[in-house]
Every structure is written in structure tokens, then in C-alpha cells.
Amino acid sequence: MKLFDGGRAPNPRRVRVFLAEKGIEVPLVPVDMGAMEHRGAAVSSRNPLQRLPVLELDDGTILTESVAICRYFEELHPEPALFGQGALGKAVVEMWQRRMELNFMTSVASAFRHIHPAMKEWEVPQIPEWGEANKPKAIEFLRFLDGELAAREFIAGDAYSIADITGLIAVDFMKPARIHVPEDCANVLRWYKAVSSRPSAAA
Amino acid sequence: MKLFDGGRAPNPRRVRVFLAEKGIEVPLVPVDMGAMEHRGAAVSSRNPLQRLPVLELDDGTILTESVAICRYFEELHPEPALFGQGALGKAVVEMWQRRMELNFMTSVASAFRHIHPAMKEWEVPQIPEWGEANKPKAIEFLRFLDGELAAREFIAGDAYSIADITGLIAVDFMKPARIHVPEDCANVLRWYKAVSSRPSAAA
């Protein structure tokens, strides 16, 4: 198999961090998203939506969507469990993975894509007003998360999960989006320090 | 257990259709979203994000996020499998569930929330330009989906799955969002006729 990878972009990194936590090595095919190579033939023929990452299995089967690729590896290599264990545990991780993605990462990404000059070709039409409207949404979510993290170590409970990976990626994405974690969100800052210190964060 | 339900809104309906496909009955607590009851104490104390549906288990455990609630029931009642079977099957359903949600339903919802006058209190600030920008995104995705559905019966393969439920809900949501399935998308129209004719669609 091979993984078409997109370097610094958030979703490709999400899969690399996940694989590092699992201790799985997959051959990477680098794709230069800065040079728009994800809109070239190699990616488009495999994923007409022209997004990365893309996993190609040995029989040619294509999997796209970072979380779907992660789930494939979770099923093949269940330990350590990064999608939770048991009916309730799996549902709680899914709930938090979605909250981190839909309420937080999406807001950060929208701020970046609709405001940053480098995104003009990517997000058409770029609507700066919509980008700005997303900044307070991201901050509001972090304040909610800060209260939640007062009572536990990781996003979805006492164990590290894919919800932490999405959170790590989203907080790192705040930098180019020019949004800052409020200084009084001590629990978020403690959690971020812990997850960004894990070896997987360098993936 | 009890399910705090939001009537016609897309995410509450997604869970009801899922439960109907599984043949599971859960006591519903109706919440009048038109009267903004989802921002009242009963919902806010259970889900500070003030979104529906919310599942409360007998021990008081709270689960939110429609897809997380569905996964909980999938784990407890695996048949019929609506999240796929086997590592690859589960990953393919996840890929399509995400594509249907992130590339299609989100576009329809953004058009509705940022344009419809009834959403003024819900979406602050309402940005009509962003709403309009989402209409062609929804149509573009439907054209991609139409090509995919030429080769198979359901969204994620030969079996009905949660990806079909998300798709059904999103197409129905196009009506208040004032977006129309292009008449030449014959495969999408054939698929929509099939999934909306199932008894679960009335849930």
C-alpha cells in the first residue's frame, strides 16, 4: 500500500500522527500541495474531490478521508485503541472527535481559508467576513473545552484518542489562522503541552 | 434511556431514521427548536453546545452528536450493519459518510442558515454571500455522486448504510435551502427515490 501525503496540511498530518501512535509504517508518496499537485492527475484519478490524504491498497482500492483511513488501520491493528473501546467508549470518542472537528477545527480552517492571502486560489470565493466570524467560534469552543478538561487528562476521557489528534492538529492550525488560545484556558494549555510533547506529534 | 429529539431538523431525523432501520424504539422527549427550546435548561444542562439530538442513558450518561449516537446503537445491535462490515467495509462507509456530510450536507446547511430569514437568530452573523457560495458546491458534489451511483445501488456500495441516511437527510434539506437536484442527475434521482421510499424515511 501507499499513502499519498500532503505535508504540512492538517488532514494528511492527522493520519501520520495516528500511524505514529499505532507504530505502523506506510510508504508515503509526497504531494506538493503548495504547487497544487493535489489537483494533478495522480491525485485526481484516485480522488476526484482532489483532497489528501489518499490511501491506495495493493489491489488498487482507494480510501480517502483522513478519519476513514485511520479507522481502517484501527480495525487491522486494534491496539492501542484510538477510537475507544466498548459500545459506550467508542460512542464517546466519536462524539468528541466530531465536536473537535465540526465545532473547532472547521472554524479554524474557515478562518484560515477565507482570510489568508495564500488561500485565494483554494477558496473561491474567499469571503473575509466569514473568516472573521469563525475566529470567535473557535475561541468559544476552547472555553467550553477548558471546562471539560478540568476533570480529565484527554479530550474523550482518561485515554489518548483520535479526538486528541484532531485537537492537536487544530490548535497547531490556529497559528497560520492567526487565532490564539486564551491565556486563561489553563486546562487546554496543559493538555496541548502534553499531546504536542508526544513523539507522534513530530509526524 | 431517552432521546431528546428536535423534530424536523436534519440531525435529530438522522438518528430517528437510523433507529427505524435497526428496528429499535427509544422513548423520545420532544424539543421545540422553533421555540428555541434547545437553548433552554433541559438541553443546555445536558449539552452545553445546545445542539440536538441528545441521548441520556439510564445512569445519566449523556451522548451527543447524531453519528456518535448511531454508532452506540450499531455496537449494541450490529444487525443490520449500517456502518459497514470488516476493516475495509467499515472504512468505505466512513469515507462516504464523511463525504456526504462534509462535502454535501454542510454546503446545503450553510446555504440554508446563511440565507433563510428564519435563521437570523440562529446564525449570527448571517452572511448571505457565503450562503450563495455554497449552492454551487452542493450541485458540484451531486454531479460527482451521480457518476459514482452509475455503478452501484447505494452510496457506499451494494448495502444501505448511514451514508445513505446522511444523503437522504441532506437532499430533503435542499428544499428549505432552495437548491434543486439537477434533472440530468438520473442516478442520484433513482437512488433518492429508493431511499426515500423506505419506511424508515418517514421517521
pLDDT category of residue B41 using cuts at 50, 70 and 90: very high
Domain B86-197 annotated CATH 1.20.1050.10: yes
Q: Where are the beta strands (DSSP E) in chain B?
A: 2-5, 28-30, 54-56, 62-64
Compute the distance between CA of residue B187 and CA of residue B191 in angstroms, rounded to an integer.
6
Q: How confident is the model at residue B27 (pLDDT cuts 50, 70, 90)?
A: very high
Our CA-based measurement puts residue A134 at a distance from the nearest CA of chain B, in whole angstroms, of 10
Q: Which pLDDT belongs to residue A183? A: 97
With an 8 Å Cβ cutoff, the interface of chain A facing chain B consists of 48-49, 57, 61, 63-65, 67-69, 71-72, 75-76, 86-88, 90-92, 94-95, 98-99, 103, 125, 127, 129-130, 133, 144, 147
Contact call for residues B29 and A56 (beta carbons, < 8 A) = no
A52 and A43 in contact (C-beta within 8 Å)? yes
Is A75 close to B68, i.e. CB distance below 8 A?
A: no
* Alpha carbon distance A197, A184 (integer Å): 21
**CA angle (B162 as vertex; A16, B31 as ends), nearest 5:** 110
Q: What is the pLDDT of residue A101?
A: 98
> What is the percent of chain B where pLDDT is above 90?
97
Task: Provide CATH code, domain A2-76.
Answer: 3.40.30.10
Cell reading at A194: 502534553
Other CB atoms within 10 Å distance of the CB of residue B159: 17
pLDDT score, position A114:
98
pLDDT tens, A41-67? Answer: 999 999 999 999 999 999 999 999 999
| pLDDT, averaged across chain B | 97
In angstroms, the CA A28 to CA A30 distance is: 6
Instruction: Name the fold adopted by A86-198.
Output: Glutathione S-transferase Yfyf (Class Pi); Chain A, domain 2 (1.20.1050)
Burial class (CB in 10 A: 0-12, 13-18, 19+), A188: buried
Q: Tell me the domain boundaries of chain A.
A: 2-76, 86-198
Q: Locate all alpha helices (DSSP H) within A123-161, ordered by sequence.
A: 128-148
Average pLDDT over residues A97-104: 98
- The pTM score is 0.97
Q: At residue A7, what is the residue type?
A: G
In three-state secondary structure terms, A85 is coil
The answer to whether the peptide bond before residue B80 is cis (omega within 30 degrees of 0) is yes
B83-92 pLDDT, tens digit per residue, is 999 999 999 9
Q: Do B71 and A94 make contact, defined as CB atoms within 8 angstroms?
A: yes
Give the C-alpha separation, B187 to B117, whole Å: 33
